[in-house]
Structure 1
Amino acid sequence: MGDGNAKGFSVNAKTIILILLFLNVGFTIKMIKKYQNTKDAGYVREQTFKDQMEKRVQRAFGSAEELNRIVEDATRQKEEAERVAEALKDQLQKSESQKKQLLNSLKEGVYQCDPGVEGVFTWVNQACAEMFGYKSPEEMIGTKVEDIYVNIEDRRRLVERLEKDGFWGNFVSFCRKKNGVRFYTERTSNMAKDENGKPIRIEGIIRDITERKKLEEELQRNIKKLEKNLEASKKEITTLKNQRKR
C-alpha cells in the first residue's frame, strides 16, 4: 500500500485521530470529489484516500514508524494518567471513609442539609440519627428538615441568620423526634457556599440539652421562690419594726 517506507504501517482508530489532528484533510477531500463520478469511483476514492494519507503522514512525521512511536507514547501517558487518577480516587474514598468513621464515633450529632427553609437532610452521623429516634443515618437521610422543628419559625430564623452572617453558634430550639417526643436542642451551624457565593448546604453540630434545660428551669423556679420568700421576710421585718415603735 503506497510507498515502501510505509511497509508494516497499520491505520487504527488512535492513529486516524492523530492524523486528523496534525494533517489538513482538505486535499484528500478534493481528490475524492475529483474522482467521485468516474467509472471506478468507489475504488478510486478508497485508494486515493489511503495513498494520499500515507504520503502526507510520511511528510509530516518522516515515517510510519515515527507516527506509531508517537501513538505508543501517547497511549502510555494516557494509561499512566488513568492509573494515577484511579489511585487518587481510591485515596479520596479511603479518606472519606475514615472521616465518616470519626464523625460517627462522636457523641454529638453532626449533620448536613439543604440550605433553604424547606429541604432534606443529606448526611447525618449515628449520634444525630439516634437523637431524633432513627436507628441509622440511612433512615434519617432524605427526611424533611422542617419536620424536626416544633415551631417552623425557628428554622426560618436560623436560615435567615446563616444567609446573612454565615454562622450561628449556640442556637436553641424546641425539636421533635420521629415518635413525636419533644426535646430541646442547641446547635452551631455554618452556611457552606460555592465559589460564586451561592448557598449549597447547611452543616453543623447539634446536641440534646433537655436535661440542662430542665436544670435551668428548676433553678429559675428556685430563684423565684427565694425571691418571693425574701420579699415576704422583708414585709414581716417591717411589720415587726412598726409594732415595736408603738
Structure 2
Amino acid sequence: MITSWNVNQFFGAENWTKLTDDEKLGYWKNKDYMQKAFDFILSKLAKPDDLVILNEVPNTKQKNYDVFKKQFTAFYKKNKLTVIEPLNCPASYGKTVAICQNGSYERCYDEIIDLEFGSYRNRILAVRGSACPQEIVFGVHIPIYESSKQPNSVALWNSLILTHRKISEKGNRIIYIGDINTYQLGTVNKNKLIEFMSEGLVDFWLEKGHSHNRATFNADTRIDYALVTDKDYSALAKKYDMEIDDSTREGDKPLSDHSAIILKEKTKT
C-alpha cells in the first residue's frame, strides 16, 4: 500500500501562513491532536512493503521546529519506522518525506535529483522498496504557481520532466504521487501537468474510472494525484486499487485540509 498525504505542517485545516507563532505552537503541543495524526500515519504502515509519503512536513524555517522534531522523532523511533528525507534538503518551511517499516525502502537516484532540483530539493524524493526494486515511487509536492516568484513551479515541472526522461530510460515502473496543486484547465500548472504526462504517464485515478471532480482538498478540488508510467498501467491496475480517505478532513478538529490518497493492494483470491 502506498499512501500520500499533505499534513499541512500538522496545523489542522488552517491556512498555516496566517497563523501566529503561538497558534502554531499550540497545535504541536496538543498531544491529542498530534497523537491522532501519528496514529493515522501508523495505520497505513501495517505491512513491511507499505509506504507513506507526507507533503508539508515541518522543516527548519518553522519557528519552534525543535518542538515538532522532538515529537516526530519519538513517534517513529517508538514504532521502529524509518523516515527518509530528501538528499541535501535546503532550509525551508516544509519538506516531503517517506516513512516505512525499518529498512523496507531506500532513497534512490540521488545524483539525478540533486542535480536537477536545486532549491526545490525539499519537495521531492525517490524511493524503491526491497520487495519490488523495479518500482520507483516519487513523492512530489508542486507549489502553487506564482509568476512573481523565481524560481516558480514551472522550474520544478521542467526539472521533473528532465528527471523522468533520464529515469524512464532505465525501464523502471514509476509512480509519482503527491500534492501537485493542479486542477483548473488553462492554468500554468495544468498546462505543465499535460506536458509532463505527454512523456508517457497516465492519471491512475481517472484511468480507474473515477471523476476528476472528486475533491481531495478543502477548496473542493482534486489536487492530489498518482501518475504512473503508461506502459505499466495494466500491471499496476492489477496490483492496486485507488482510494481517497477523507477522514483526515472530517470532524470538529480535522487533521489537515487534504485527504489522503491511497494505492491499495488488491486482496489476493
The structure with the largest alpha-carbon Rg is 1
Higher helix proportion (structure 1 or 2): 1
TM-score normalised by length of structure 1: 0.23
Which structure exhibits the higher relative contact order, with contacts defined as CA atoms closer than 8 Å and separated by 6 or more residues? 2
TM-score normalised by length of structure 2: 0.21
